[in-house]
Structures are given as C-alpha cells and as structure tokens.
Chains A and B, each alone.
Chain A
Amino acid sequence: MPGKAKILIVDDDEDYCASTRALLENEGYEVQEAASGREGLAAAESYNPDLIVLDIMMESPVEGYTVIQALKHRDEYANVREIPVLMVSSVQDDPTSLFPMAGEVEMITPDAYLTKPLDIPKFLEYVRNMLGEEAG
C-alpha cells in the first residue's frame, strides 16, 4: 500500500488549522500547514502535497483566489498544477456569486468548494474522492 497521502492546509486561522489537521491526521493523512497565500504557494512547490485545502479569504478578500489562480494558470506553477484544490470559506456564498465577473470565474474555479465550519463527514468524503481513494 502506498505511503500516506500528503495534505497541505493553507489558512491563516490557527484554530481552523488545528482542528482540521487533527481530523485529517486521525484519518491517517500526513498534514502540513501554511498560514498565508505566499507560504502556501511555496509549500505547494516544496512539499508537493496530494491535495490542497485552501481558505478563500485569509487576510484579504482575494488572497485565496490569488493562490488558486497562480496554481492553475501561472506558468511558474505548472509542475504543481495537477494538485487538486479544495476551497473552504466561512462566507456563505459560492464563488461565482462573490466574483460575478464572467471572465474571471473560469480562472478561479476550484476543484471543490465547502463552507466552514466543516461538515465533517462531507469534508472527509470530498478529501477521499479528491485523493482517488475508495470510500472508507
């Protein structure tokens, strides 16, 4: 059986990081945290996770989106482009309604989207699916 899957959590809220990390480690995943968009992009490259859990807002409204836009569209991150991204947010809307500029929506659609606080069973199911694992 292959080694544990690696998950990168990018979120500046240490409480969410702590509880989400505990949840994932309990499932047997290896977890690393990044507390900002910049750290997140650097960690994507150096840690090379199998999944990224990315907070939408962080310090500024566009920080999360900047990360995903870079990961999916900028040439310098081409080698980590295939890493699936699960976006989480405490804003109760979906990304398309936050940024209704038609052109940009295409660029910033994550692979999946969940609201905080996390619905634990749903979150774990999404993680398993995005890692290509069978249901537990």
Chain B
Amino acid sequence: MSAQLVEQTPIIVIDDDETMRRACGAALGRAGYQVETFADGPSGLKRIEQVRPGLIVVDLKMPGMGGMEVIDHAKEIDRDMVVIVITGFATVSTAVEAMKAGAYDFIPKPFTAEELRVIIARGVERHRLALEAKRLRAEKEAQARKFVTFVSHQLQSPLGAVRQYLDVLLHLMGDDVPEQQRTWIRRSSNKINQMNAIIRDWLTLSKVEAGQLATQRCLVRWPELVAEVLEGHALATEAKQVTLHSEVPENLPPVIGDPPALKMLLSNLVSNGIEYNRAGGRVTIRAAVDTRTVSLLVSDTGVGIAPEHQDHVFEEFYRVVGEGAERTSGTGMGLPICRKIAEELDGEITLTSRPGQGSTFTVVLPRGPADTPAEEFPDDVPIGGA
C-alpha cells in the first residue's frame, strides 16, 4: 500500500530545527516516501526549483525567510504544488493565514509520525487529483479544437464547391438567364460567402481562445501594418465611398506582438470603420505613446454606438440592430476576436463612441524597447493616449 503513495519526486521538508528534519525524514521514509530536508527557505527553494516536487512541508516559524514567504515562492514555481505547514500549537490562526496563502493543510506540533503520514497521504492524493484535472482539461480543450478545425474544414469544402458552381454558372450562362434569376444566383453565392465567413471566424475565435493565434512575440511596427491594411481595403472603400486616412508617424515606437494576428486585428477594425460608416465618410488612424504602451486609434464618422450597446459589442455574435445600423454582412465575431488578440498580447481594446458622432477603437499594446532615445518619444506623437 505504501508503494502506491510514493511520489515520483521527493517530498521536500524545510525546517530550521534539526530534530524535526530528522524525525520527519524518518516518519515519511518508513512509508516509502523519498524525502529531502533543508534548514532554511533559500536552500529548500533552490532544490524545489530543480526537482519540482508535488508536495512540500514547511515550518511556519523560521528565522530569516519565514514559512509564509517560502509558500509564496513555492506557489510561484508551481501553482499546483501541495504545501503542508507545521505550526506551533498556539499559532492556529497563522495556520489559517497560511492556507489562505495557498497551503493545503497544517499540522500543529507536537504530532506523531502517524499523524504526519496521514496528512501527507491526503496531500499526495490531492496533488494527484489536481494533476488529473489539469490533464483532462487540456485533453478536452485539444479535442474541442480538433473538432472545430475538422468541422470547419468539412463545412468549407462543400460550401466552396457550391459557390464555385454558382459562380461558373453565372460566368458561362449569365447572359442567357433572365435578370431576376441572375440576381438569385448572385445572392445565393453571397449567402455562401457569409457562411464561409462565419465558419472562418469561428475557427479563428477558437484558435485565439486556445492561445494559438497570437503566438509570436516580436517587434511590430504599426506604420507598416497600417499601410498594408489600408491598401488591402482600397476596393471596399470605393464601394462604400469612404476615405481612409493615416496620421500615424513613421517613427512610431514598435510594439511587442504577433504580426499576422495584429494585421488581422487592424483589418477587422478598419473593415468595421468602413462598413458602419456613412457615404462620403472617413476612417482615420492615429497613434499615441506613453512610457509603457503604444496606442493605435481607429476612428470612423459612422453612426456611432449607443451607450447600452457599448458594453456588449465585444461579445461573440452580438449584433447591433437599430436606428441607422442596417443589417450588415458581418459575422458578429470581428470585435471579440480583436479583443482576444489584444488581451493575448497583454494589451487591450477600448471603445469611445457617441450615437451620430462615430466611434473610436483604441488598441493599447506594450511597447518594445526603443533603439534610440529619440525614438522613445518622437516629437509629433501625442503623449498619454488620446
């Protein structure tokens, strides 16, 4: 029975009292556990860092680094590490404090070898369950992702085939088909595009949620991305009679991010800015810096977003339907994806808007190290965020 309770890693005991160390070592050794003992926090933590034990025993009252501090450091190394604290009989309240700090259980002195073993056994079981839960969660997430990827490809393929049939039909026979029926074919093709867009967004969203989308961390220069994205939307602006403007200075300090994800984010914001705009309107992109962040602001002269909707526009599938906001062809997933990308990169997106006065989406991201002092605070960039 003892053999089953033996951990694969040693139990680390930290106690300044030599007798305690030896007694614990003996008591646990008899139950088949591997034990390593240390006289102070620093040496114990060094070993903990090396072997990543599942369970440690810490005396609360020690000179130098106290037990509470050891617990903090240990939990930083591994959140799932089970901590058992040894307390004096008069310090139960300290024990409760220790548990709030992350200890799993406490054992007041004096205690028998058997009492120690019982508590350790519970702790070992607890650790086993925590790891099991973690493993199952990861498995569940991986399966969900596989499902999403599989289904989205299985759906996109036939949809693509249907759309191509419709497009080729129109191309080959368009002139022989009456106007109304030609419109039906075109609208069918558009509906298929919409479905494909939803599926792609669903796939993107699931990747972002799994932390799989914004995986790179490198220096990204907004001015370059802005130029690419604006060029990419040239056709859309013609269709909606909206003009795009960039006031982003060339020497804007870089941010730390994932280039393709940020391109997608910016593209989404610009698309929205065009889509929800009025004819003859503008989309303007500006920037601002402060000591730790770089902000990119995308503003439109559209209908704006009413206060009651502003809290919700970043929710999945949320569509604003109301005065001036005609049913547009979006999927309702653009903004949630943008927000998740920003958050994944330790940034955020905020919205300021007033109905009738357009909206401004601000993307705040951590700035990368500046190459030169001059690059750190360019003269023409507003300080402090707009």
Q: Does B163 contact A (CB under 8 A)?
A: yes
The 8 A-B pairs of least Cβ separation, nearest first, read A15-B161, A117-B164, A19-B168, A117-B160, A117-B163, A19-B164, A116-B160, A19-B165
> B172, A26: Cβ atoms under 8 Å?
yes
**Which B residues are CB-close (under 8 A) to A13?**
157, 161
Query: Smallest distance from the beta carbon of B267 to chain A beta carbons, Å?
Result: 13
Q: Chain A nearest CB: distance from B113 CB in Å?
A: 57
- 14 pairs across A/B with beta carbons < 8 Å? A15-B162, A16-B164, A18-B165, A20-B168, A22-B172, A23-B171, A26-B171, A26-B172, A90-B160, A97-B260, A116-B164, A117-B164, A118-B167, A120-B171
Q: Which residues of A contact B (CB under 8 A)?
A: 13, 15-16, 18-20, 22-23, 26, 90-92, 97, 116-118, 120
Interfacial residues, chain B to chain A (CB-CB below 8 A) = 153, 156-158, 160-165, 167-168, 171-172, 200, 260
Interface centre among A15, A92, A117 (most CB of B within 10 A): A117
**CB proximity of B155 to chain A, nearest CB, Å:** 11
Judge whether A120 and B160 touch: CB under 8 Å.
no
Q: Number of contacts between A and B (CB, 8 Å)?
A: 44
Chain B interface SS verdict (over half): helix
Q: B161 is contacted by which of A16, A22, A91, A120 (Cβ under 8 Å)?
A: A16
Tell me the minimal C-beta distance from A29 to chain B in angstroms. Answer: 14
**Would A90 and B156 be within 8 Å (CB), given that A22-B172, A26-B172 are in contact?**
yes
* 5 more A-B residue pairs beyond the given contacts A13-B161, A19-B168, A92-B200, with a C-beta to C-beta distance below 8 A: A15-B161, A15-B164, A90-B153, A91-B153, A118-B164
B168 cross-chain contacts in A, Cβ below 8 A: 19-20, 22-23, 120
C-alpha gap A91/B260 in the complex (Å): 16
**B260, closest chain A residue (CB):** A97
A90 touches B172 (CB 8 A): no
Residues of A within 8 A of B158 (CB): 15
